[in-house]
Chain A
Amino acid sequence: MCGEAITLSAVLERNLQCFRERLCAPDNADVLLRRFRSGAFESALLAIDGMTDARRIDENILKPCMDLPASAGEEVEPAQRVAFLMAHAVSILPMKLKDNIDEILSDVLSGQCALLCEGCSMACVMDTRGFEKRAVGRPETEKVVLGPHESFGESIRTNITLVRRIVQREELVTEFLTVGGRMKTRCALLYLRGTADETLIARIRRRLTAIDYDFALTTGEVEQFIEEHPLSLIPQCVRTERPDRAASFLAEGQILVLTDGSPEALGAPSTIWHQLHTPDDASVRWQYGTFLRLVRLLGIAIHVLLPGVYLALLRFHQELFSPMMLASVYESGSRVPIPIYLEALLMMLAFNLISEASLRAPGSMGNALGIVSGLILGQSAVSADIVSPLLLIVVAVSGLGGFCVPEYALSIGLKIVQLIVLTAGALGGLYLIALVLLVLGCALCCTQSVGSPLTAPVTPPRRANPDILLRLPLRWQKARAFFAKHDS
């Protein structure tokens, strides 16, 4: 009976029965259904235990309603009873009148509460969210030396407030969307009206609302539905856990996607250059920022190329080594029983294994694990002639370079590229490495982020902010990003 109902009826008991059925009450102990007398008529409140602020409900909804004199609302039309309570008793600021059962249930499940009255086919949905949440903490993956040390939390409301505290502009718009199939997730779309391109906003909105995946719960999952090239190794949106960086994205004309329960914001459209920048680039003088960026780029180049180039030189271009060095390399390599490619592959696998294990191991154990694996295992492997010392140095330096990648998702992509380059170097020397890089470069140049080229403004050329590879003086960075609204 209830399964077919789409809107509320005027009979309170019928509505409550419907909600009981849908929420599996009374088996479901979390469902709070409270019937009470509010003046001349009967009302009911529906909420989920633990998701709401009980004190606010008591003081701002239940108490004022129950304190109404017995004659209050006698003369009010039954259909207007909820509106009467909203006007004379309830003192909660965000509230809406709704009659769609699905919408009401969705709101209740997100921590809001619904007030229903006898004879009225409307419910008042009030924002009484009050679940426990983590306090604003320090960033874990985007640590900086200089600059703010604040990061997003799991509450979408808090995250929006953190952004709004930095971007105190009337143009900042927050749109709430409910995405996903069965398990809905609340997302917020933040943008600066007049700066962000409306076409891009509409495109992202369309892609978000089109998500029919049952459990699109985190920012990472939402990102995968926004992106255009699922086969690409490079992420097409930029993620940040820092409100200050998110605010800078907004100022550039990007659109932020916040997901309830995820302590990070998604910036789209983005470019590959965004993923190479760190938040403290802008906090220091341009000379320091440029130097740090160059060091970072060098680190990334070493990370991706060094093992492959080492193998290529050793197998195909021995003439590039000095005779002494070549003798030393062959002398140390001759004691190792496995081919050099397999040796390098195993070493890199071991490095990734240690890195992953250190990441998952709890707290201080992670550090100990890193030291034990890195020092003791490495030393033992060299002593046992399982690996050559030069290759150990190459893999270690290459791994060190990998920590220079500011974006975690990008660093995983680059690890895969590193393996491809290694294989290319072993099979075809420097020429094959060049070919692999050419193909990857061409693929990267074709990749788009929400319709904007990922490699722009370098290629294709676009007139935009010169903050690309070098961190130029701030006074030269007056232009917005190329994807911002053209007349902004």
Chain B
Amino acid sequence: MPNMIPETVLFARIRAAYRVRAVSAAVCVGASVFALGAGVGIPLCLNAAYLAALAALPAAGLTALLARRVLVGAGRFARARHALIGLTLLALALFAFAATVSLVHQTLLPLARISFVAQVSFLFAGLCCATGAQGAPRMTFALRGVLPVGLAALSLSTLSFETAAGLFPLLGTGARNLGLSALCMIAAAAPALLIALPPPELKDVPQRERATPGAWFFVWRVMLGAALGVGLLMVLSLCSTYEGLAAQQTWGRRMLIFCQREPHEGLGETILTLLQALSLLLCAIHGLLGAAQAWQAVWPRLGRGALGGCLLVCALLLTALVVAGVGIARRVAPLLGVPVLLFGVLCLGRRKKP
């Protein structure tokens, strides 16, 4: 007779699935803080972008907290909430794609056409999604050490005493711009909405509700991810002078952590850029997978078609972006903060008694 899985083991497995989910959300939050900071923060307040990005920490933490609150139980506005999450994550995926394409095109593949970079990125992201809903989250979990440690170590290796001047002036281009930039950084909390969706591998697992970890379990991970994003922005400020950042007109070049002393010493820089691009791409993949899961919750009959639909919509919008210029994504990205705020409002509604 088949043995039953003991409750403790079952709980451990459920907890492990949530760990994977939390790490995925953390990586995505970190990537979006960096992309948004480079895209919106730097044009507004130059070297003080990292200070403005600090606003993303409480925003991401709070979003994670609210997302955990609605994770178990349907509650009121469940479908509306799922639809909102689906739309937000789809927009996030598009933003992350735009950031990846911009970064890669302007750094790693400057001679390639931007449409080629976009097609290749989207194709491989689609393949990652097609391998299954668990593949990308598990891969992200496996990279949870390598990615942040690699990013931190390589970016720190670029620093020297001379670069400390990059931290000043603290207010960048002024307090107003700093405040505006901080407000825009709320949008970077959007990936924390992933936490509101249960991990796909727990679809048929019994007693899921009882074993769901507490809010702090998610909040500290997500905030750590955001802190890494802020750290990268800080390194970016340290590596570039005030005038240097002001001269950087394009989004992708602004994301480049410039560390090479000699032309042939750029290996560290290349690996660092690769890791950044990989983080952004993972954010896009998680956005797509999360959006598909959310739409599936809205219309359960969609099944696997939800992912196909999300991929199609994303492909069309990305094509439009490439034609019109990926910079548009950077400009509209702060609007992602609106659904995050709306989500907060929806979550604050009274919960249904189970």
Which residues of A pack against B, CB within 8 Å?
Answer: 197-199, 202, 316-317, 319-323, 325-326, 428-432, 434-436, 438-439, 441-443, 445-446, 453, 455, 458-463, 485-487
Task: Tell me whether A199 and B121 are in contact (CB under 8 A).
Answer: no
B142 proximity list for chain A (CB < 8 A): 441, 445, 455, 458-459
Q: Knowing A322-B264, A430-B270, say if A199 contacts B2 (CB, 8 Å).
A: yes
Name A319's closest neighbour in chain B (CB-CB). Answer: B263
- Find B124's partner among A319, A326, A435, A463 (CB 8 Å cutoff): A435
15 contacts between A and B (CB under 8 A): A317-B270, A431-B109, A434-B277, A435-B121, A435-B124, A442-B128, A445-B134, A446-B132, A446-B134, A446-B138, A455-B142, A460-B138, A461-B19, A462-B13, A462-B16
Task: Tell me whether A445 and B139 are in contact (CB under 8 A).
Answer: yes
Name A315's closest neighbour in chain B (CB-CB). Answer: B111
Interface string of B143-177 (1 = CB under 8 A from A): 00000000000000000000000000000000000
Name A460's closest neighbour in chain B (CB-CB). Answer: B16
A323 proximity list for chain B (CB < 8 A): 263-264
Name A432's closest neighbour in chain B (CB-CB). Answer: B120
**What distance in Å separates the Cβ of B120 from its nearest Cβ neighbour in chain A?**
6
A487 proximity list for chain B (CB < 8 A): 3, 6
Task: Tell me whether A316 and B131 are in contact (CB under 8 A).
Answer: no
Name 8 extra pairs, CB < 8 A, besides A317-B270, A438-B281, A441-B135: A321-B264, A429-B109, A430-B274, A438-B139, A459-B138, A460-B20, A462-B12, A463-B12
* Centre residue among B9, B117, B264 by max chain A CB count within 10 A: B264
Answer yes or no: B217 CB below 8 A from chain A CBs: no
Task: Tell me whether B120 and A428 are in contact (CB under 8 A).
Answer: yes
Main secondary structure of the interface of A (DSSP, over half): helix
Task: Tell me whether A460 and B141 are in contact (CB under 8 A).
Answer: yes
Task: Tell me whether B278 and A460 are in contact (CB under 8 A).
Answer: no
Interface string of B244-274 (1 = CB under 8 A from A): 0000000000000000000110110010001
Task: Tell me whether A486 and B278 are in contact (CB under 8 A).
Answer: no
Residues 191-208 (chain B) with a chain A CB within 8 angstroms: 201
Answer yes or no: B311 CB below 8 A from chain A CBs: no
In the assembled complex, the Cα of A441 lies from the Cα of B120 at a distance in Å of 17
Task: Tell me whether A439 and B16 are in contact (CB under 8 A).
Answer: no
- Find B20's partner among A202, A316, A461 (CB 8 Å cutoff): A461
**What distance in Å separates the Cβ of A466 from its nearest Cβ neighbour in chain B?**
15
B16 proximity list for chain A (CB < 8 A): 460-462
Task: Tell me whether A439 and B274 are in contact (CB under 8 A).
Answer: no
Answer yes or no: B312 CB below 8 A from chain A CBs: no
**What distance in Å separates the Cβ of B289 from its nearest Cβ neighbour in chain A?**
10
**What distance in Å separates the Cβ of A442 from its nearest Cβ neighbour in chain B?**
3
B135 proximity list for chain A (CB < 8 A): 441-443, 445-446
Q: Knowing A434-B278, A438-B281, say if A199 contacts B141 (CB, 8 Å).
A: no
- Find B128's partner among A197, A326, A439, A458 (CB 8 Å cutoff): A439
**What distance in Å separates the Cβ of A253 from its nearest Cβ neighbour in chain B?**
12
In the assembled complex, the Cα of A445 lies from the Cα of B200 at a distance in Å of 14
- Find B138's partner among A436, A439, A455 (CB 8 Å cutoff): A455
In the assembled complex, the Cα of A453 lies from the Cα of B16 at a distance in Å of 13
**What distance in Å separates the Cβ of B296 from its nearest Cβ neighbour in chain A?**
18
A438 proximity list for chain B (CB < 8 A): 124, 128, 139, 278, 281-282
B139 proximity list for chain A (CB < 8 A): 438, 441-442, 445, 459
- Find A439's partner among B2, B127, B267 (CB 8 Å cutoff): B127
Name B138's closest neighbour in chain A (CB-CB). Answer: A445
* Centre residue among B6, B12, B127, B135 by max chain A CB count within 10 A: B135
B345 proximity list for chain A (CB < 8 A): none
In the assembled complex, the Cα of A435 lies from the Cα of B285 at a distance in Å of 12
- Find B266's partner among A316, A320, A439, A446 (CB 8 Å cutoff): A320
A453 proximity list for chain B (CB < 8 A): 138
In the assembled complex, the Cα of A435 lies from the Cα of B124 at a distance in Å of 6
**What distance in Å separates the Cβ of B8 from its nearest Cβ neighbour in chain A?**
8
B112 proximity list for chain A (CB < 8 A): 428
Q: Knowing A320-B266, A320-B267, say if A431 contacts B108 (CB, 8 Å).
A: yes
A455 proximity list for chain B (CB < 8 A): 138, 142
In the assembled complex, the Cα of A418 lies from the Cα of B88 at a distance in Å of 38
Name A445's closest neighbour in chain B (CB-CB). Answer: B138
In the assembled complex, the Cα of A432 lies from the Cα of B109 at a distance in Å of 10
In the assembled complex, the Cα of A486 lies from the Cα of B124 at a distance in Å of 38
In the assembled complex, the Cα of A453 lies from the Cα of B266 at a distance in Å of 38
Answer yes or no: B38 CB below 8 A from chain A CBs: no
* Centre residue among A322, A432, A445 by max chain B CB count within 10 A: A445
Task: Tell me whether A431 and B6 are in contact (CB under 8 A).
Answer: no
In the assembled complex, the Cα of A441 lies from the Cα of B9 at a distance in Å of 26
Name B141's closest neighbour in chain A (CB-CB). Answer: A459
Name B140's closest neighbour in chain A (CB-CB). Answer: A459
Task: Tell me whether A436 and B124 are in contact (CB under 8 A).
Answer: yes
In the assembled complex, the Cα of A459 lies from the Cα of B124 at a distance in Å of 21
Answer yes or no: B104 CB below 8 A from chain A CBs: yes
Answer yes or no: B136 CB below 8 A from chain A CBs: yes
In the assembled complex, the Cα of A321 lies from the Cα of B136 at a distance in Å of 33
Answer yes or no: B1 CB below 8 A from chain A CBs: yes
In the assembled complex, the Cα of A435 lies from the Cα of B101 at a distance in Å of 13
A326 proximity list for chain B (CB < 8 A): 264
Answer yes or no: B96 CB below 8 A from chain A CBs: no
B2 proximity list for chain A (CB < 8 A): 198-199, 202
**What distance in Å separates the Cβ of B292 from its nearest Cβ neighbour in chain A?**
15
A485 proximity list for chain B (CB < 8 A): 3
Task: Tell me whether B5 and A486 are in contact (CB under 8 A).
Answer: yes
User: What 4 A-B pairs have minimum CB-CB distances, sorted nearest first?
Assistant: A442-B135, A445-B138, A435-B124, A446-B132
Task: Tell me whether A446 and B131 are in contact (CB under 8 A).
Answer: yes
Q: Knowing A430-B274, A431-B104, A460-B138, say if A442 contacts B131 (CB, 8 Å).
A: yes
B109 proximity list for chain A (CB < 8 A): 316, 428-429, 431
B134 proximity list for chain A (CB < 8 A): 445-446, 460
B131 proximity list for chain A (CB < 8 A): 439, 442-443, 445-446
B322 proximity list for chain A (CB < 8 A): none
Answer yes or no: B29 CB below 8 A from chain A CBs: no
Answer yes or no: B190 CB below 8 A from chain A CBs: no
Residues 97-126 (chain B) with a chain A CB within 8 angstroms: 104, 108-109, 111-112, 117, 120-121, 124
**What distance in Å separates the Cβ of B218 from its nearest Cβ neighbour in chain A?**
16
In the assembled complex, the Cα of A321 lies from the Cα of B270 at a distance in Å of 12
Task: Tell me whether A459 and B20 are in contact (CB under 8 A).
Answer: yes
Answer yes or no: B17 CB below 8 A from chain A CBs: yes
B281 proximity list for chain A (CB < 8 A): 435, 438
Task: Tell me whether B264 and A486 are in contact (CB under 8 A).
Answer: no
Name A317's closest neighbour in chain B (CB-CB). Answer: B270
In the assembled complex, the Cα of A486 lies from the Cα of B6 at a distance in Å of 7
Name A430's closest neighbour in chain B (CB-CB). Answer: B274
**What distance in Å separates the Cβ of B121 from its nearest Cβ neighbour in chain A?**
7
Q: Knowing A431-B109, A445-B138, A461-B16, say if A439 contacts B264 (CB, 8 Å).
A: no
In the assembled complex, the Cα of A154 lies from the Cα of B56 at a distance in Å of 65
Name B136's closest neighbour in chain A (CB-CB). Answer: A442
A459 proximity list for chain B (CB < 8 A): 20, 138-139, 141-142
B201 proximity list for chain A (CB < 8 A): 460
Q: Knowing A320-B270, A445-B135, A460-B20, say if A435 contacts B264 (CB, 8 Å).
A: no
B13 proximity list for chain A (CB < 8 A): 460, 462
* Centre residue among A198, A321, A434 by max chain B CB count within 10 A: A434
In the assembled complex, the Cα of A438 lies from the Cα of B275 at a distance in Å of 11
Name A202's closest neighbour in chain B (CB-CB). Answer: B2
Q: Knowing A199-B3, A439-B124, say if A319 contacts B108 (CB, 8 Å).
A: no
